[in-house]
Structure 1
């Protein structure tokens, strides 16, 4: 089935989304900062064979309208994304996300009752790590008339995602970052200020931790397993990170199996 695009009205303007599938359980996906729902481009058709899968652009990223300013917090983003999900008819979805998207999934679940959570790289930082990310991770992009910002973004992703980064992934990351260069830090900073441990501990639904073996945040999986009431861990071996981009078939298969189990007979068919 063809992936379709749309917009949902919210208190912050319009939230853009992409959807595939017209039956089965609802699945809502949130991307890492500062990218867009395009990171799920290969995953959505795989999920759409047996589910109604929706990937959202975080407010301020992709084609979604930005928040009113830079000072909003992850619970604010979660409320607006839940508003968008409800506006397109999502009921008892399995909510999933990668890195800051995992925090968004937890925050959205507070406003949109979920059947389950699929989290990849929950940012369970200690105070020192949080302070370091806040101070160092989001320098201003060096925007100038010679295009220095593009080389800067290429170097940044080669450092953070690895020198073996496939050219198509590098292009996607750089393009999505550059389209929001003036506000790329907004969602990042909100994510670094937010501690998802309370929301994870309070979650009363099954949780799948679906991670790449060598992801930057894979060491946090053990903490997440201790915090969550009903959690299981699936590790995709041999991946340095970005499981949804590097292994979309394996990522989608694990997510879909969990979603169909979590949604149960009430999830639709």
Structure 2
């Protein structure tokens, strides 16, 4: 639907802003007035691969659900990780194991044994869960958690991990999972408190962290104030405008002068064993 709407809008020179995260950014090609406000999966993969390269001496376990081994997203992500690691150490020294996910209903206890066989007891294990499917993430974390007392583990996850509803909080907190998220809400900020107060008055509830109320406000304020202050130049150079927003910042970039813009902003969000969700300092390494 976005491709249809944005193509029609392009012909009559109307900007289109999409608040929804897409699997890829192909809709941006030859569409200079299309803005993707939520970083695509490809941007998240780049950030995770770059971050993973800092742990090049670790034992890597790459969990995915591509049983047919032809998923382009999984293939691309694997190549990105290997490429980043190869820039740090020789390819022959990289310890990288792939683990195709199968439900416990298919393997029972053998599922945990498969994971244990891939882990190293003598070095840190960096586990990357390359899936957005709730059962894959939930069952994988449960199995990792059951082995985490015996093996040192570190877990990186996709942005969607923050929104999984049936995920036992114990697993994600006690494992100290690092998630690359397009948003971070600081509830101690005055503008955030003011927004939640006004929202509560109107709707008798507070917006959840995943509510589109946040991104809706940020997008409206960002684009209206940008156009008011800079005119149509803002649509060509959106980086000239950096207002203080509620949930995110916009770091719009494009690959070519005739392509649309994608927001590359991601936050490094850490779940801690103290059951806190904290913002880690430093930017993800996609720059």
Question: Does the TM-score normalized on the shorter chain lie above 0.5?
Answer: no
TM-score (normalizing by structure 2): 0.34
TM-score (normalizing by structure 1): 0.36
